[in-house]
C-alpha cells in the first residue's frame, strides 16, 4: 500500500483514508475518501444543527423571561449544574432503552443536553444588564416586551452566544456516539471499527476534533460580531469570553 502521507505513521494512514477510498476490511464495500467522509459528516451536522436549533428556541425565551422578571435564578443556574452531572452517554442510553433508537429520539437527547448552558447564560446575560440602563429604557416609555427585545437581548447577546458555543461543541462531540442509537454520523468509523479499520477510526477522530474546534472558532467570531459596539469598548469585554465556561461565579 503506497501512501502519500506515510511519513506521518498511523496519522498518515488516517489522512490517506480521508482522501482515498479503499476496500473495506470485511470485503465488498468501499470505505474512505472525501465522498464518504461527507456522507458521514452531513448527518452529523444535520443532527447537531437540528438539536441546537430546537434547544435555542426553547431555552433563549425562557432565559430572557426569567432574567427579565428577575426570578427563578436558582432554577436557571442549577439547571446547568444538574445538566453537567448527567453523563451524555447515560442520557443517550436512557433514551435508547426507554424510547428506542432513531434520529428523533437521539435528537431529543441532544436537545436536553444543549438546553442547560444556554438557559444559564441567557439568564446571566439578561441579569447583568445594568439596572440603570433598564430604568432609563422604562423612563423613555418602553414596554416590558420592548425592553426585552431592544435593551436586554442585545446587551445579553455575547453571553447568549457563549452558551450556544458551549452547547454546540458539546452536541457535536456527543453526536459522535450517535451510532449507539442507530444514527450514522462521523462516529460510525469509531464504533464500527471492523468495517473501517484502524485508519478509518483515527481519521474520524481527527475530523470530529477539527469540526469541534472549527465550530468553537466560528461561533466565537459570530459572538464578537453580535457584541454591541458599546460593550466592545471595555478591554475586559473583548477578552473575557474566549473559550467561556458557564461558571458559578459568573453570577453575582
Partner 1 sequence: MILELAQVQIHNRTDTCESNNGFCPDWIADHFGDYVHPFFQHLILVGLTVAIGFAISFTLALIAYRRRWLINPVTQVTGILYTIPSVAAFFLLLPITGRGTDTALVALVSYVLLIIFRNVLTGLDNVPAETKDAGRGMGLTANQLLWRVEVPLALPEIMAGLRIATTTTVGLATLAFFAGAGGLGEKIFSDITYKSNVVVAGGLAVLMAAALDGLILLAQKAITPWTRAVAQP
Give the integer Cα–Cα distance in Å for 172 and 180. 15
Contact stretch for partner 1 (CB under 8 A) within 50-58, 60-68, 128-136, 209-217: 209-217
The answer to whether the beta carbons of residues 3 and 32 sit under 8 Å apart is: no
Q: Which residues does residue 21 pair with via DSSP β-bridges, in sequence order?
A: 32
245 near partner 1 (CB under 8 A): yes
In this structure, the dihedral spanned by the alpha carbons of residues 177, 181, 182 and 183, taken in order and rounded to 10 degrees, is -50
Q: How far is the CB of 148 from partner 1 (least distance, A)?
A: 29
In angstroms and rounded to an integer, the radius of gyration of the C-alpha atoms of the chain is 22
Region of residue 102 (phi > 0: left; psi between -120 and 50: alpha; otherwise: beta)? left
Give the integer Cα–Cα distance in Å for 182 and 195. 16
Contact stretch for partner 1 (CB under 8 A) within 40-48, 50-58, 92-100, 133-141: 92-100
Q: How far is the CB of 72 from partner 1 (least distance, A)?
A: 21
Region of residue 205 (phi > 0: left; psi between -120 and 50: alpha; otherwise: beta)? alpha
CA angle 217, 222, 224 (to 5 degrees): 95
251 near partner 1 (CB under 8 A): no
27 near partner 1 (CB under 8 A): no
Q: Which residues does residue 31 pair with via DSSP β-bridges, in sequence order?
A: 22
206 near partner 1 (CB under 8 A): yes
112 near partner 1 (CB under 8 A): no
94 near partner 1 (CB under 8 A): yes
Give the integer Cα–Cα distance in Å for 241 and 166. 11
Contact stretch for partner 1 (CB under 8 A) within 8-16, 26-34, 71-79, 127-135: 8-16
98 near partner 1 (CB under 8 A): yes
Site for partner 1 in 177-196 (CB under 8 A): 177, 180, 187, 190
11 near partner 1 (CB under 8 A): yes
> Which of 66, 157, 173, 183 is close enough to bind partner 1 by CB under 8 A?
173
The residue ranges that bind partner 1 (CB under 8 A) are: 9-11, 81, 84-91, 93-94, 96-98, 101, 169, 172-174, 176-177, 180, 187, 190, 201-202, 204-206, 208-209, 212-213, 216, 239, 242-243, 245, 247-249
Amino acid at each position: 500500500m503506497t501512501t502519500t502521507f506515510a511519513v506521518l505513521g498511523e496519522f498518515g494512514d488516517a489522512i490517506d483514508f480521508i482522501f482515498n477510498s479503499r476496500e473495506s476490511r470485511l470485503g465488498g464495500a468501499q470505505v474512505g475518501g472525501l465522498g464518504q467522509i461527507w456522507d458521514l459528516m452531513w448527518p452529523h451536522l444535520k443532527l447537531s444543527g437540528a438539536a441546537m436549533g430546537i434547544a435555542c428556541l426553547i431555552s433563549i425565551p425562557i432565559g430572557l423571561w426569567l432574567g427579565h422578571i428577575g426570578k427563578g435564578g436558582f432554577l436557571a443556574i442549577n439547571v446547568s449544574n444538574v445538566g453537567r452531572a448527567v453523563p451524555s452517554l447515560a442520557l443517550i442510553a436512557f433514551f435508547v432503552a426507554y424510547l428506542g433508537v432513531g434520529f428523533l429520539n437521539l435528537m431529543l437527547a441532544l436537545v436536553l443536553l444543549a438546553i442547560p448552558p444556554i438557559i444559564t447564560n441567557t439568564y446571566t446575560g439578561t441579569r447583568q444588564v445594568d439596572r440603570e440602563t433598564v430604568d432609563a429604557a422604562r423612563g423613555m416609555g418602553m414596554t416590558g416586551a420592548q425592553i426585552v427585545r431592544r435593551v436586554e437581548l442585545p446587551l445579553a447577546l455575547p453571553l447568549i452566544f457563549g452558551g450556544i458555543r458551549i452547547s454546540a461543541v458539546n452536541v457535536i462531540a456527543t453526536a459522535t456516539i450517535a451510532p449507539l442509537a442507530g444514527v450514522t454520523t462521523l462516529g460510525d468509523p469509531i464504533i464500527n471499527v471492523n468495517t473501517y479499520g484502524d485508519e478509518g477510526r483515527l481519521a474520524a477522530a481527527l475530523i470530529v476534533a477539527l469540526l469541534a474546534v472549527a465550530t468553537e472558532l466560528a461561533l466565537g467570531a459570530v459572538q464578537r460580531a453580535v457584541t454591541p459596539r458599546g460593550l466592545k469598548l471595555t478591554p475586559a469585554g473583548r477578552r473575557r469570553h474566549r473559550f467561556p465556561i458557564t461558571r458559578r461565579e459568573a453570577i453575582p
